[in-house]
RNA sequence: GCGAACGUGGUGAAGUGGUUAACACAGCGGGUUGUGGUCCCGUCAUUCGAGGGUUCGAUCCCCUUCGUUCGCCCCA
């Protein structure tokens, strides 16, 4: 084994890729109904898009794939997340000037982070996410959460809960930050080294500390909610009221602060309680950001968004026994009984394909028995048998697998016979089993 | 960045310091040479992640390396 994928990356092979296709179809359908439009931004950006001057986050720098080509002084970075790129694009193309704000955008694509791989954490992983930019209204916080929540519910996921919190506006957060610094002032020397750094750079993150979580100072830590000004308090109340109205259950978690410091007001995290999720239990998470559009040179506009890890979503679905999609079965398999008729078999196959039948033939001159085994494995609904006699007569034999009904017909009548054999199914627009249709698209 | 476990064919795996590396599934061929899914027979790893070392001899012992998995850290 000389060549292999880089650590933390993986190939998505047939058998697995069908799950992705199914999820992506569902994602597009959901976003379509919610009137969110897709945005595609580059997979790499100028490094300063992700590495912002005032960003105190721990991960920026060491966990990004940043590179510089030999003859260039430009530093580029593979995107570790989408929000920054989307906001950059929003500003660059002056979408803030469009009528009918907010811009409601969604994306699906790969992200790259240089982290140690483990369950639910890859170096190249995929996110489905949304960003709603340009209007600040608690209704949008609610709508945006509702989209993600109903999406995962539509898949049938059960063991989920929404954790939500508010960081308030700048004024509230500054007040809270000051209170935290005051609170930890005496104890910080006894706390872990990360906390010491956070104390200076981003005191809110101390709440996330797992090392010192049992320390006495942590038990008496001031609560964000006591430092919210009227406006922030009202905003959060309206978000919660909206969630109530839409019947979305949530849990307020006042230690939830999220990693990035651009968040303001609403922050949330939807976690799975299924044990199969390992240490990575967050299915989707996000929050509101007030300063980002301005940071990228746009007007003072707010946005909200979240991102969902598709790999984790698949883990969660599989842990709950939810079937996401399998390889499609074959409409017909064309069997050739001797090498001499192989070319004819291919031509028959081509004719069927031209008429929309998913079909395949043999390319290895295998025995009849072996070809029949393929028929079974690929769950073909019909077999077309090609032999020398019939080629000479210009006919083919068609056998319907389900009831072994077999007919020898003129080649010209082959497609008509197939249509007749599978009439009922063809009338059904989707590919579900008749009478057991779970699709929604043909009811639109 | 830290810690632990693991790495044998297409797959799941057993195994031992010494020339046959079990077994099962899958594949292919045949029994049934133009009609499958059962059954029976045959066949299918000069090789045990890679590199180096110890040894008369290593898949098994030692070192290094790569990778996988799980956890810590972190999680945009």
State, as a whole number of angstroms, the distance between the CA of A61 and the C1' of B8.
41
pLDDT digits (tens, 9 = 90+) for A198-210: 777 777 777 776 6
| Residue A436 banded pLDDT, cuts 50, 70, 90 | low
Q: Quote the ipTM score.
A: 0.83
What are the tokens at A52?
Answer: 């912002």
The answer to whether A426 CB sits below 7 Å from nucleic acid chain B is: no
Q: Which residue's CA lies closest to nucleotide B74 at its C1' atom?
A: A59
The answer to whether A133 CB sits below 7 Å from nucleic acid chain B is: no
State, as a whole number of angstroms, the distance between the CA of A242 and the C1' of B54.
72
Domain with CATH 3.40.50.800 in chain A: 332-443
What SS3 state is found at A424?
A: helix
Does pTM top 0.90 for this prediction? no
**b/e map of A99-109 (b: 16 or more CB within 10 Å)?**
eeebbbbbbbe
What are the tokens at A280?
Answer: 């990575």
For strand B, give the nucleotides within 7 A of a protein CB: 1-3, 27-30, 33-37, 49-50, 66-76
Closest CA to A275 of A321, A316, A246: A316
Q: Report the pLDDT averaged over residues A54-64.
A: 58
Domain with CATH 3.30.930.10 in chain A: 17-169+229-319
Local structure of residue A101 (DSSP, 8 states): P
CATH of domain A332-443: 3.40.50.800
Region of A350 (left: φ > 0; alpha: ψ -120 to 50; beta: rest) is alpha
The answer to whether A6 CB sits below 7 Å from nucleic acid chain B is: yes
State, as a whole number of angstroms, the distance between the CA of A1 and the C1' of B56.
31
A17-169+229-319: CATH, from 3.30.930.10, 3.30.450.20, 3.30.70.640, 3.50.50.100: 3.30.930.10
The answer to whether A399 CB sits below 7 Å from nucleic acid chain B is: yes
Instruction: Give Cα A429 distance to the centre of its chain.
Output: 27
What SS3 state is found at A222?
A: coil
| Residue A404 banded pLDDT, cuts 50, 70, 90 | confident
**Residue A84, CA: closest nucleotide via C1'?**
B76
The answer to whether A209 CB sits below 7 Å from nucleic acid chain B is: yes
| Residue A134 banded pLDDT, cuts 50, 70, 90 | very high
Residue whose token pair is 């008729």: A341
CB distance A238 to A138 below 8 Å: yes
State, as a whole number of angstroms, the distance between the CA of A3 and the C1' of B15.
29
Rounded Cα distance between A173 and A71, Å, is: 44
């Amino acid at each position: 084994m000389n060549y292999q994928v880089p650590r933390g990356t993986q190939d998505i092979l047939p058998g697995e890729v069908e799950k992705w296709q199914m999820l992506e179809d569902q994602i597009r359908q959901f976003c379509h109904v919610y009137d969110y439009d897709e945005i595609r931004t580059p997979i790499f950006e100028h490094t300063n898009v992700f590495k912002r001057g005032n960003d105190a986050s721990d991960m920026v720098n060491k966990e990004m794939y940043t590179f510089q080509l030999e003859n260039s002084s430009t530093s580029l970075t593979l995107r570790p997340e989408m929000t920054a790129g989307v906001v950059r694009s929003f500003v660059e193309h002056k979408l803030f000037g469009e009528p009918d704000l907010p811009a409601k955008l969604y994306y699906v694509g790969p992200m790259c982070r240089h982290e140690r791989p483990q369950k639910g954490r890859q170096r190249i992983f995929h996110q489905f996410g949304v960003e709603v930019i340009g209007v600040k209204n608690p209704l949008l916080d609610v709508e945006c959460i509702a989209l993600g929540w109903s999406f995962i519910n539509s898949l049938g996921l059960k063991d989920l809960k929404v954790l939500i919190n508010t960081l308030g506006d700048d004024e509230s957060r500054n007040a809270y930050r000051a209170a935290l610094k005051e609170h930890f002032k005496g104890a910080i020397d006894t706390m872990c080294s990360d906390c010491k750094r956070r104390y200076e750079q981003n005191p809110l993150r101390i709440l996330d500390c797992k090392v010192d979580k049992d320390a006495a100072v942590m038990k008496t830590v001031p609560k964000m909610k006591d430092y919210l000004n009227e406006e922030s308090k009202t905003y959060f109340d309206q978000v919660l009221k909206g969630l109530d109205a839409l019947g979305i259950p949530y849990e307020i978690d006042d230690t939830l602060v999220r990693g990035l410091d651009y968040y303001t007001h609403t922050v949330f995290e939807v976690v799975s309680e299924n044990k199969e999720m390992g240490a990575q239990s967050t299915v989707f998470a996000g929050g509101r950001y007030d300063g980002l559009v301005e940071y990228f040179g746009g007007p003072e506009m707010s946005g909200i968004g979240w991102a969902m890890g598709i790999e984790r979503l698949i883990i969660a679905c599989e842990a709950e026994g939810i079937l996401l999609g399998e390889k499609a079965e074959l409409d017909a398999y064309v069997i050739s009984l001797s090498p001499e008729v192989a070319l004819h078999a291919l031509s028959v196959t081509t004719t069927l394909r031209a008429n929309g039948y998913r079909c395949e033939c043999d390319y290895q001159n295998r025995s009849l028995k072996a070809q029949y085994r393929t028929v079974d494995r690929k769950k073909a609904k019909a077999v077309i048998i090609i032999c020398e006699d019939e080629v000479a007569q210009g006919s083919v034999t068609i056998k319907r697998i389900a009831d072994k009904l077999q007919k020898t017909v003129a080649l010209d009548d082959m497609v008509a016979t197939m249509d007749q054999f599978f009439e009922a199914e063809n009338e059904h627009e989707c590919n579900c089993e008749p009478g057991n249709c779970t699709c929604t698209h043909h009811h639109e």
